[in-house]
Structure 1
Amino acid sequence: MVLHALNILGAGLSAFVGASAIVFGLDRWTDAAPVRSLSAGGAVIFLFEGGTLVDATPAARQLLRGKRRADSDLSRLADVVGGRFGTVLTHRLSELRANGRLILTSIDGLETLEAEEENGLLRLTLRTDCRSVGSVDRLSVDALEAELLLLRGLAEDAPLPIWTQDSQDQLSWANRAYLELSDRNRVAPDDPAQAEGGRSFWPAAPLFEPPRDLNEGECRQRRLSLPRPVGESPVWYEVTSVRRGEGSLHFANDVSGLVLAESARQHFVQTLAKTFASLRTGLAIFDRDRRLVLFNPAFVDLTGLPIGFLSGRPVVQTVLDRLREAKILPEPRDYAGWRDEVAALEAAAAQGQYCENWSLPNGQIYRVTGRPHPDGAVAFLFEDISDEIGLTRRFRAELSLARNALDALDDAVAAFSPTGDLTLWNMAYARLWRRTEGTTDPGHLQAEAAEWERACLPTPFWAQLHARSDSARVPLETALEHRDGRRLRVRLVTLTGGGLLAMFREDPEHRLGPTQVAS
């Protein structure tokens, strides 16, 4: 209905005035100045030099304003007025050199165009018969009508909903996108009224609530939603409102995808926060400006830093300074060296190369790891590894005790893993079979058995040893004679888990005899 009325109003000058009021201030966007009406006998004058406009009356400049770009200003003018004179203006102007002056009359006889050259300048004078067209220049009216059609098309065909409201906040104008949005929001999918040729209905009320206390010229943005049927997500719009005189101009941009992305991001952050809250590892994340943006309860428990301090988003150096004061960090030799260490720590963490153990005065040990994150962020992980380190130290102490106990034995003892690797032996075994102390090669059962066989005289025991299966649980025991004349008593016992223990004892009184199996 409104669109049809606008098309009727656009037929003449009165249509331009009415439509300009409906479009509500679009002329501000074109930088177009109001056109002065010419008095009777007035003229529109242009002055060109080499095709470039060097001077013109205000009405003349108005004719060229907003017109498409051409090779020159003279070509722009020819595009505007040439059709009215039924000729190619630039071609006719070539006659000036022969005649010195040229006068053209429009097809309808209401306008004349006078061209003459003065000192290398081209002067064009456009005159209108005011008795026929009244007090308004006809070309200016045509230009304004063309500009009106352009602005109307821009507003009407814009993909964004655009509308205006009067001083009473009633809808006064709306473009096609707004009317279509109003139809979708008002008419149910199964409503038969929607089958009326796809015609848009004039909304009874604006779709969006107008802003309150909007001052003249003020631009305000709001995020508003339109209700949807039960079970469907609401549609969100970024609504921009501008006050113009007694009314207001509004634009709506669909930001449902952005709202959905922000909601997903917030949900993801909340999920991460819940996950981090249950971790025993302390987590502290610093953004690209090295300010603390995220930490979990374990970080507070491990460091003892106040939550109020951490919530203030301190920088990395401030956090490390507080850790140093709380004796969470290893004490440096001097403060200048400490600052250098902080800078090196931050740089190493940004490259993902920082991982150190911090031994605290109270005996606790923290493993601190720095990891880079996207956008230049850095994350620090704090783990209390005191129990792990203590367990490792106790294991090493027990292992050292076991080695010392074996070394105190006169018998040569060697233990092999289920895979046959030599894992433990004492000094007596090293002396007997000439193993070098501190060797990095642990040896293997097959290699060790071959060494035993080469160093001793032949006996059926070696065949029994090679034929022995890994699952055999019955120990083997026999007497051996070393090639250097020493007599040995050997005993092989299968350990729990599949390992093997070999024990060698020097037995000077024992004579070489057949292989014996221990009972």
Structure 2
Amino acid sequence: MVDLTVSNSVILGGLVVAFSFAVLWLIGMCRTSQSYKGALQHPGTRANSFLFRDEDLIEHDASTMTLPKAETEDETDWHRMRRWLGFRFPNLPEQLGDLTADLEIESNEDGLKSRLEFSPGKKTVHLTLSETLAPDSVVLHETLRQHALLEDRAAALSAAPMPVWATDKDGNAIWENQASKALADEHKEQMLLALGDAPEPGVSVSTQVSLENPVGPSDLWYDLKAVGSDTGTLHYAANITRIIHAETIQREFVQTLAKTFAHLTTGLAVFDRSKNLALFNPALIDLTALSPEYLSARPSLISFFDTLRDRQVMPEPKNYASWRSQINDMVKTAAGGLYQEVWSLPSGQTYRVIGRPHPDGAVAFLFEDISVEILATRRHRMQMDLRQTVLDQLDEGVAVLSAEDRLMFCNSTLGTLLGIDPDGSFADMGLSDLLAACHSRYPDVGLWAEVEEKITRKSLSSPIIDTVGRPGGDGATCRVMPLGGGVTMLCLTQIVPEVSGMTTADLP
């Protein structure tokens, strides 16, 4: 949902906090300090003294030290001091009043040996922080170098746009960045409640939470993550309100599309840029016999077409080994807006499949059952073939001209009489071409000119019947008749000349 790679930087931010406390101590350690009167001194040590009365810090000689800000109004100075020292000295007493004898606590981290000494009096407790072993120059230099690097990272983390904060094992906040400080207290409480109990060290928990928006009509959405550590918990909150709104708009848009395509008889399958089924309509279920459960599971494009093949809803590939390659080629062609194919299925049905590209790498396939259309086309073709066969059996030559004065069809008898082959010509034969062939075979300037004029001007209201031919040669009876709608029929019946006083009636 939301890319939280910034988490790595945030985790470093937790280290920043720890290193910062350590470095502040190192800086103070390296400065020459005035020892408090009566402080315990050891040769070769550097020490700072603190005097507490009733949990309040009343005097100290650490001029560069600043206690952490109080978390509550009644938090004592000792509790603040305890938080300041806690990362190096974890087992400090809860209350100074519980001390009845001197106490020493030592810490040895990163080669820096330190000691806390508690000396309780009647009404006061004297605390001494001392370094019993000065660090090597290299150790000190490396620590300061790391501090310089971490300062920049800490500044970047503090200015990060996503809220980040850290809590100790008791749930008390010990650090937060500027974005976290800007969160309303009630919002942060709801976030912590949504995350539940603090995770164990090294364990992380994630969740999402919706919060009431005080300045807007829509709720605020956050993606939350908590990471447990040895010292407490790191919390991250990424504002994903815009992403949630975008997903809502997208979901509503898909629902609108689904309703729009629900009543179409054409099956629709839209695959997203990952080539998973993102949208389908009821017609796709009817045409493919795929279950709604299967389609709702968003199968991949390859799985979708493989299932169609298994159910014999697409032609069986001739070479199954190259099946996936064929599908990939089909997808590439569809993505270019060029895929269109007719599938003849074993069931006798015929589907037209069209692939169309969509934005952002998506591709849509349209499945249309054209079985009725194909059947009607075949029936029409059979009727046309039968009509042509019947016309070819006539002794009379027949030609039909369209309203645009183009030859629509003619029978073989006319082709034989005029010596023409319209089907073998690259160009359509027009009225002038047909009449030129008629005039060449049966010369009659007046008749053919009259026929052309009346057909061209659409003034042929009654049939023209005449005899044409060469004197002393063969001739033909010509009939030109309007058929309605601007369509004209021309018929030629050959007249066989008389031979030795015989007429056509005397011929066997």
Name the TM-score, length of structure 2 as normaliser: 0.61
Aligned CA distance change for structure 1 residues 357 and 288 (closer, same or farther; 3 Å): same
User: Which residues of structure 2 form unaligned runs of 5+?
Assistant: 1-27, 29-61, 71-79, 89-108, 115-128, 499-508
Correspondence for 1:161? 163
Correspondence for 1:490? 478
**C-alpha separation between the residues in 2 aligned to 1:380 and 1:176?**
51
> Paired residue for 1:475, among 455, 462, 468?
462
**C-alpha separation between the residues in 2 aligned to 1:234 and 1:422?**
73
Aligned CA distance change for structure 1 residues 366 and 65 (closer, same or farther; 3 Å): closer
What is the CA RMSD across the aligned residues, in angstroms? 4.5
**C-alpha separation between the residues in 2 aligned to 1:418 and 1:251?**
79
Q: Secondary structure at the match of 2:148?
A: coil
**C-alpha separation between the residues in 2 aligned to 1:321 and 1:205?**
50
Look up the equivalent residue of 1:499 and give its one-letter code: V
Q: Secondary structure at the match of 2:191?
A: coil
Correspondence for 1:506? 494
Look up the equivalent residue of 2:492 and give its one-letter code: F
Q: Secondary structure at the match of 1:351?
A: helix
Kindly state the Cα deviation for residue 168 of structure 1 after the two structures are TM-superposed.
7.3
> Paired residue for 1:443, among 429, 433, 458?
429
> How many equivalent pairs are there?
385
8 Å contact kept, 1:457–1:480? no
Kindly state the Cα deviation for residue 477 of structure 1 after the two structures are TM-superposed.
1.1
> Paired residue for 1:344, among 326, 331, 343?
326
Correspondence for 2:34? none
**C-alpha separation between the residues in 1 aligned to 2:188 and 2:275?**
47
Kindly state the Cα deviation for residue 310 of structure 1 after the two structures are TM-superposed.
5.0
8 Å contact kept, 2:315–2:344? yes
User: Which residues of structure 1 form unaligned runs of 5+?
Assistant: 1-9, 47-55, 69-146, 183-202, 511-519
**C-alpha separation between the residues in 2 aligned to 1:290 and 1:471?**
59
**Does 1:15 find its partner at 2:96?**
no
Aligned CA distance change for structure 1 residues 354 and 156 (closer, same or farther; 3 Å): closer
For residues 168-247 of structure 1, what are the structure 2 equivalents within 5 Å?
175-180=177-182, 182=184, 203=185, 206=188, 208-210=190-192, 211-217=195-201, 218-228=203-213, 232-243=217-228
**C-alpha separation between the residues in 2 aligned to 1:40 and 1:156?**
31
Name the TM-score, length of structure 1 as normaliser: 0.60
**Does 1:461 find its partner at 2:453?**
no
8 Å contact kept, 1:235–1:256? yes
**C-alpha separation between the residues in 2 aligned to 1:479 and 1:23?**
124
Look up the equivalent residue of 1:481 and give its one-letter code: V
Kindly state the Cα deviation for residue 424 of structure 1 after the two structures are TM-superposed.
0.9
Kindly state the Cα deviation for residue 216 of structure 1 after the two structures are TM-superposed.
3.8
Look up the equivalent residue of 1:271 and give its one-letter code: T
Q: Secondary structure at the match of 1:389?
A: helix
Aligned CA distance change for structure 1 residues 325 and 419 (closer, same or farther; 3 Å): same
Per-residue CA deviation, residues 468-488 of structure 1 (Å, 9 max, x unaligned), is: 354425135142433473333
**C-alpha separation between the residues in 2 aligned to 1:34 and 1:237?**
42
Look up the equivalent residue of 2:344 and give its one-letter code: S
Kindly state the Cα deviation for residue 207 of structure 1 after the two structures are TM-superposed.
6.1
**C-alpha separation between the residues in 2 aligned to 1:255 and 1:26?**
34
Per-residue CA deviation, residues 222-258 of structure 1 (Å, 9 max, x unaligned), is: 3334423687333333333344678644333332222
**C-alpha separation between the residues in 1 aligned to 2:274 and 2:179?**
44
Look up the equivalent residue of 1:260 and give its one-letter code: H
Aligned CA distance change for structure 1 residues 177 and 362 (closer, same or farther; 3 Å): closer
> Paired residue for 1:414, among 387, 394, 399?
399
Correspondence for 2:58? none
Per-residue CA deviation, residues 270-323 of structure 1 (Å, 9 max, x unaligned), is: 333334443323344567887666544333322334445555666667666655
Aligned CA distance change for structure 1 residues 40 and 295 (closer, same or farther; 3 Å): closer
**C-alpha separation between the residues in 1 aligned to 2:416 and 2:324?**
52
**Does 1:395 find its partner at 2:383?**
no
Aligned CA distance change for structure 1 residues 207 and 494 (closer, same or farther; 3 Å): farther
Kindly state the Cα deviation for residue 399 of structure 1 after the two structures are TM-superposed.
1.0
Q: Secondary structure at the match of 2:484?
A: coil
Look up the equivalent residue of 1:464 and give its one-letter code: E
Per-residue CA deviation, residues 119-146 of structure 1 (Å, 9 max, x unaligned), is: xxxxxxxxxxxxxxxxxxxxxxxxxxxx
Correspondence for 2:117? none
**Does 1:272 find its partner at 2:261?**
no
For residues 81-100 of structure 1, what are the structure 2 equivalents within 5 Å?
none
Q: Secondary structure at the match of 2:375?
A: helix
Look up the equivalent residue of 2:197 and give its one-letter code: D
8 Å contact kept, 1:25–1:244? no
Look up the equivalent residue of 1:350 and give its one-letter code: K
Look up the equivalent residue of 2:247 and give its one-letter code: E
Look up the equivalent residue of 2:143 and give its one-letter code: Q
**C-alpha separation between the residues in 2 aligned to 1:270 and 1:363?**
34
Kindly state the Cα deviation for residue 170 of structure 1 after the two structures are TM-superposed.
7.0
Correspondence for 1:110? none
Aligned CA distance change for structure 1 residues 408 and 367 (closer, same or farther; 3 Å): same
Per-residue CA deviation, residues 155-190 of structure 1 (Å, 9 max, x unaligned), is: 5544333445677767676544444454xxxxxxxx
Per-residue CA deviation, residues 201-234 of structure 1 (Å, 9 max, x unaligned), is: xx57746431211224444333334423687333
> Paired residue for 1:66, among 135, 140, 147?
147
Look up the equivalent residue of 2:477 and give its one-letter code: R
**Does 1:282 find its partner at 2:263?**
no
**Does 1:300 find its partner at 2:285?**
yes
For residues 351-390 of structure 1, what are the structure 2 equivalents within 5 Å?
351-352=333-334, 355-369=340-354, 380-390=365-375
